[in-house]
Structure 1
């Protein structure tokens, strides 16, 4: 079997069992199959099914992979290092790292990217588990981390200016001195509020300022209004 990239993710879980170099310069790395979660800091392994990876020094980007033994020895088990209870009870299969690069290059909503990659994935079940994203959350996290790393800096003030340039229809006003003030609102929602406030045939509008809560480096206050245009007046 020959792989270009992402050879580490093949649907199985392995522990390195040493390596050696042939006279020709080819490096061979050997792996034992992991058959269960860590106990006392060590994985349980077996040599009934093994993997060897061969790499030529002149072609480091290509690998020759050899599997030996009985693949019925393979057992799937949950991720052992997660702090979330759900992941400690769900079978874990490592995703192909090549898929991460593909997700980073795609534009659009996380749900759209997820559905597209899911339908384009291999028909073979094992390869589909490896070469397709686990869920929408995984796609969203990859895109979020990419945006974070692509930022010119992580200064909160700079990011406000950067965000206003990207999302012009939401952040309508900001001030950095003497106090930081940022006003954000959906344009259509703001237009609706102004229309309601100017209507004498509607009930009085009571605006509510909700409790301020911390959002990242800032404190956020929410203004709430009631849509009274389609609401009947209560009977007296």
Structure 2
């Protein structure tokens, strides 16, 4: 007497009918950019060290402000660890706070805390503008890398034009930040520097990312309609 075999009874590593082993592994949900930053709470966390620095500077002076900002960044990192939240945004934020605090200490001025961010905006703006000049708009390059669409859009002029617009929008955001914050830095307006860093931070970036989203979806529709043979 032989034991009967039931094909429908498969183990955890068995192949499904008509399928291939491990095929389901490819269906992994990608985390959004907001989730990678820690969600809405992550956006709030990034604002706390800056706010703490400005308030502490007014009450305790530069040294107290530096210690307060570093302590706030460290506390956020520990809180994320305890709550088992993504640590990468917290660690990146802590590193940024530490560098900004170091610059403030070296310059001996509270406004020095914002110096790194100001010049980072200039560098990023120039980098994005250069990518348009060399016909490799970064908005398209990054979008293609994140969504697995590659660089097929480079061969489609309307798609490249849309990504040019998106990249130039990001360039404008970085340029506006630099111009406004550099002027406030020269005028020794530390409080306003903190305000503009927050006001011109994620709100402006969100608007620019909407343009990037429009460009990405527009390009995807065109490439899908063209088919693989026409790309």
TM-score bin (small chain): under 0.3
TM-score normalised by structure 2 residue count: 0.23
TM-score normalised by structure 1 residue count: 0.23
Which is strand-richer, 1 or 2? 1
Larger Rg: 1
